[in-house]
Structure 1
Amino acid sequence: MIIESTISLLLLLIQVPATALLLSRLLKGPRRYPPLQPQQPTPDMLGRVSVIVPTLNEALRISPLLKGLSRQSYEVREVIVVDSRSQDGTPDLVQAAQQQDPRFRVITDDPLPSGWVGRPWALHNGFLFSSERSEWFLGMDADIQPNSGLVASLVKTAQTEGYDLVSLSPQFILKYPGECWLQPSLLMTLLYRFDPPGIYTEEAERVMANGQCFLCRRSVLASINGYMSAKSSFCDDVTLARNIAAAGFKVGFLDGAKLLKVRMYEGAMETWKEWGRSLDLKDASNRAQIWGDLWLLSAVQGLPLIILLAYLPMSSSPYLPISLVLGLNIFLLFIRFALLLVIAPSYDRKNAKGGWLFWLSPLADPLAVLRIFLSAFHTPREWRGRKY
C-alpha cells in the first residue's frame, strides 16, 4: 500500500487547492443578481437599440429569431442581418420579415479579409452600418429564440446597474438523448472555471460573456474600433468583453434563461464537435490561464469519477491518505450532482427524448474535460463551413 499512499498524497496535492478554489466560486452563488425577467420599455428608450445578427446559411434556424425580434417594442430602432453570402435562402426570409416590420433589413458583408474570423467580421460590418443615433448595440445569434420584453429588460438592467456591456446566458433546448447527457457536462466546465452568472467580476481576465445576446454601449464599441481587437478570435465575445473590461468599462454576465432560448446543435456528435470548439477560451486567455483552467477542471471535474472507481476496492484501507482521497472525491461528486439542480432551469427538456439522461450527465464529465484539452491544443481550421 506504500505506492497507493504515495499516489494518494500526490492526488491530494492536486485536488485540495482546486477544491478550495471551486468552493470559493460556488459560495458566491447566493449573492448573484437574480435571473432577468421580461420588462416593458419606457418612453425614454425610444429607438435606443440597434440589433445586429450575423448569418451564414441559417434558413432552418432563423425564423424564431425573426418572430421574436418583431415582438420587441419601440426600444429597437433597427434589426440589421449581416449575411455572409448564404446559399440557402436566409436573406429571403429576412426580406419577407421586412414586409411585416420595416425595422428589418439585410446587408451582405464584404469578402472576409485575411486575419478575420467570419463572425466578428460580420458583427463589425453591422456595427459600421448601424445608426449612430442608437445608444446600444445588441449582437444576437440566428439560433436565439427571444421572448417579448427581452431587449427592454436588457437595457433597463444595464442602465440600473451601470453596465457598459452586458450579456446573457440562455436556456438551452435539448432534443436527443446524447446531447441531454453530454451538453450539461460541457456547460459545467464554464461554471467550474468562472464565477456564476450574476456575480460582478472586476478582474478583466476572468470576465465571462456570451455573444448570443451581447448588449454594448455604441460609444464604448466605437472607442475600441468595433470588433477589431477580436477579429481573429473564435471566442470573439469573451475576447471583446475582456478587452472592454480592461479598458475600464463595467462588464456583466447575467442569467437570461427567462428571456431567451437557444437550440444550438443537433445531437451528441455535433455538440461534441461544435460546442466544444471554443469552450477552452484560448483566444481570450494567456497560457498561464489556460493551464490553470485545465488543472482545475481535471482536478475537480474530470478525475473524481475515475478516482472513485479506482479507489472503491481500497475503501477499507487503514491508510489515511487513501481514505482522504476517497472522501474528497465523494464530496466532489456530491457537489457535481447537486449542481444539476442549479443548472436545471437553464435547460428546456420538455420535448427531449431521453431527457432523464440530464441527471446522469456527471458521468460524462471525463469526456467533457477531455474535449477542453483537445480544443486547448488545437487551432480551428474550419467554422460554419469556412476554412481558415
Structure 2
Amino acid sequence: MTLLALAALLLALLPAALALANLVALRPPRRAPAGPDPDGTVSILIPARNEAANLGPTLAAACASTGVAVEVIVADDHSTDATPALVAEHAARDPRLRLIAVPPLPPGWTGKNHACHVLAEAAAGRYLLFVDADVRLEAGAAAALAAAARARGAALVSGVPRQVTGSLGERLTVPMINLLLLGYLPVPLMRRLRDPALGAACGQLVLVEAGAYRAAGGHGAIRASLHDGVQLPRAFRRAGLATDLVAGAGLATCRMYTAFGQAWAGFSKNAHEGLATPRALPVWTLLLGGGHVLPPLLVLAALAGAGSLPLASGSLALSLATRAAITLATREDPRTILLHPVTVALALALQWNALLRPRRAGVATWKGRTYPAA
C-alpha cells in the first residue's frame, strides 16, 4: 500500500507541475488599442442548427464587439425551429449581421464542419472567429484575439470560455475540459514546437487568420471529424503553421449543456477522437485514475489501518489543490472542487463506455444526424 500511495503522489504531482507552468504561461490576451483595428475586419461566424433558445444573447454579444470592425454571419444548418426568424429579426436592426443557408450535407462531412466551411467561404474578414451558438463574447474579445494572433505570429488562437454550470450533472462533467487542457498539455512546449500532437483548441472559440485557414485546408481538412477542437489545430500544424492558446475566461462565457444526460451524450460523441482509443485510454486511466481517483481511496484505506496516511493525504491534497488552482483561474464554480475525484471517475467511465460499448453499425449521433464513428 505504501508503494501504491507513493505512485499516487507522483501521478498527482505531474498535473500539479504542468498546471503551475501553464497557468503562468496562459495569460489573457492584451486589450487591443482603442478605436477600429486598421488591420482589417473580424468575421464572427456562428453555425446554428435548431439554436433558437440560445442564439439571441449570442447575436447581441457578437454585434456589441468593440475595438475592431466586425461582420457577423450565421449559417442556418437546416433548422426546424425559429432560428432563421430570430436571426432575421436581429439582422433587420444591424446591417453587419446576415443569415446564410447551409446546402445539403455532402457525403463524408459532419454537420458543424460543413457549416463552418460554408461560413468561411462567405466571410470577408482578415480573421475568422468561429463561435458556437451558446457562446457569449465579451465586447473586446474579437479584437483581443486578433491582436494576440498578430503579436504571437499564430495562425490559430483559441481559449476556453468561462464554463457556466447550472446543474449537478454539469458540475460533474464540464470541468474536465480545463483539467485536461491545463493539467496535461505542456503549453510552453506547444509554443516551441509545431508537432501536430501538441495542437489543442476549444471548438467553442477559435480565431484563425483567413489566408492561413485556407492554406491549411480549413474545415475541409477535418471534414469527417466530430472533434474540431483537437483536429483543426492539428491540421494547421501539419501545414507548418503555429497555433496558440490564451486564457479565455475573460473573453466569453458558455453553458454547453443543461443536464447530465446532455453532457454525457455530448462528450461521448467525440470520445473516439480524444481519449477513447485502445492505445491512449489505458495510459489516461493510469494518469487520471492514479492521480485523482486513487488518492481518496488510499486515504480511506489508511484511516482503516492499511497504508501510509501521510502519503495518501499528500496525494489527495495535491490533486485537490491542482483542481482548485485551475477552477479559480478559469472562474468556474468553486463548489465543483470537492467533487473532483467523482468528476474524474465519471470521465473515465464515459471514455471506457465509448470505447467498449457495442456501436450500432459503428455510428455516432449528434444534433439529429448520424455519422460513422471514427
TM-score normalised by the chain length of structure 1: 0.83
Kindly indicate whether the alpha-carbon contact (under 8 Å) linking 1:83 and 1:109 is maintained by their aligned counterparts in 2. Answer: yes
Deviations 1:87-120 (A, max 9, x none): 1111111111111111111111111122211111
The residue type paired with residue 374 of structure 1 is: N
Deviation (angstroms), 1:312: 3.3
Distance 1:283 1:149, change over 3 A: same
Alignment-derived partner of residue 120 in structure 2: 127
- Secondary structure in 2 matching 1:169: coil
Is the CA contact (8 Å cut-off) linking 1:40 and 1:149 kept in structure 2?
A: no
Name the SS of the counterpart of 2:349 in structure 1. helix
Q: Is the 8 A contact 1:181 1:357 kept in 2?
A: no
What corresponds to 1:384 in structure 2?
Answer: 367
* Pairwise CA RMSD: 2.9
Q: Which residue of 1 aligns with 2:317?
A: 334
Inter-partner Cα distance in structure 2 for 1:215 and 1:159 = 11
How many corresponding residue pairs?
364
Residue aligning to 1:179: 170
Structure 2 residue identity aligned to 1:257: A
Work out whether residues 163 and 254 of structure 2, in 8 Å CA contact, stay in contact via their aligned partners in 1.
yes
Bigger mean CA offset, 85-94 vs 356-365:
356-365
Give the unaligned 5+ runs of structure 2: none
Residue in structure 2 matched with residue 372 of structure 1 by the alignment: 351
Once the two structures are superposed, the pairs formed by residues 155-304 of structure 1 within 5 Å of their partners are 155-185=146-176, 187-195=178-186, 200=191, 202=193, 203-278=195-270, 280=271, 282=273, 288-304=279-295
Q: 1:249-275 CA distances to partner (integer Å, 9 max, x unpaired)?
A: 111111111111011100223223323
Superposition deviation, residue 306 in structure 1 = 3.1
Take 1:376 and 1:190, find their aligned partners in 2: how far apart are those partners? 21
1:80–1:126 CA contact under 8 A, matched in 2: yes
CA contact (8 A) 2:41 2:71 kept: no
Alpha-carbon distance, 1:126 to partner: 1.0
Which residue does 1:153 correspond to in 2?
Answer: 144
Deviation at 1:46, TM superposition (A): 5.8
- Note if 1:113 corresponds to 2:102: no
Quickly say closer, same or farther: Cα 1:118–1:189, change in 2 above 3 A: same
1:362 aligns with 2:340: yes
Matches within 5 A, 1:33-44: 33-36=26-29, 38-40=31-33, 42-44=35-37
Assess, with a 3 A threshold, how the Cα gap between structure 1 residues 32 and 108 changes in structure 2: closer, same or farther.
same
The structural deviation recorded for 1:237 is 2.4
CA distance in 1 between counterparts of 2:14 and 2:320 reads 18
Q: Which residue of 2 aligns with 1:353?
A: none
What is the CA-CA distance between 1:372 and the residue it aligns to?
2.7
1:308 corresponding residue in structure 2: 299
Secondary structure, in 3 states, of the residue corresponding to 1:248? Answer: coil
8 Å CA contact 2:46–2:130 kept in 1: the answer is yes
| Residue 141 to residue 117, structure 1, CA distance change in 2 (3 Å) | same
Contact 1:33 1:198 in 2 (8 A): no
Amino acid at match of 1:107: I
Give 2:57's aligned residue.
Answer: 64
Structure 1 residue 225: Cα displacement: 2.2
2:318 partner SS: helix
* More off after superposition, 12-21 vs 177-186: 12-21
Distance change (3 Å), C-alpha of 1:274 and 1:293: same
Matched residue SS, 1:166: strand
Deviations 1:290-345 (CA, angstroms, capped at 9, x unpaired): 54334322221233233433443234xxxxxx43xx54443332122212243235
SS in 2 for 1:381: strand
- CA deviations 1:33-55 (Å, max 9, x no partner) are 32236545554436422221111
Letter in 1 for 2:348: V
Question: What per-residue deviation string (whole Å, max 9, x for no partner) do you get for residues 55-100 of structure 1?
Answer: 1000000111100111114734421111111111111111111111
Distance 1:167 1:297, change over 3 A: same
Greater alpha carbon shift after TM alignment, 23-32 vs 241-250:
23-32
Q: Distance in 2 between matches of 1:302 and 1:272?
A: 19
Please give the alpha-carbon distance, in whole angstroms, between the structure 1 residues aligned to 2:141 and 2:290.
Answer: 38
Residues 168-177 or 297-306, more deviating? 297-306
Residues 291, 319 of structure 2: 8 Å contact kept? no
Q: Secondary structure at the residue paired with 1:314? A: coil
Separation in structure 1 between the aligned mates of residue 260 and residue 152 of structure 2, nearest angstrom: 38
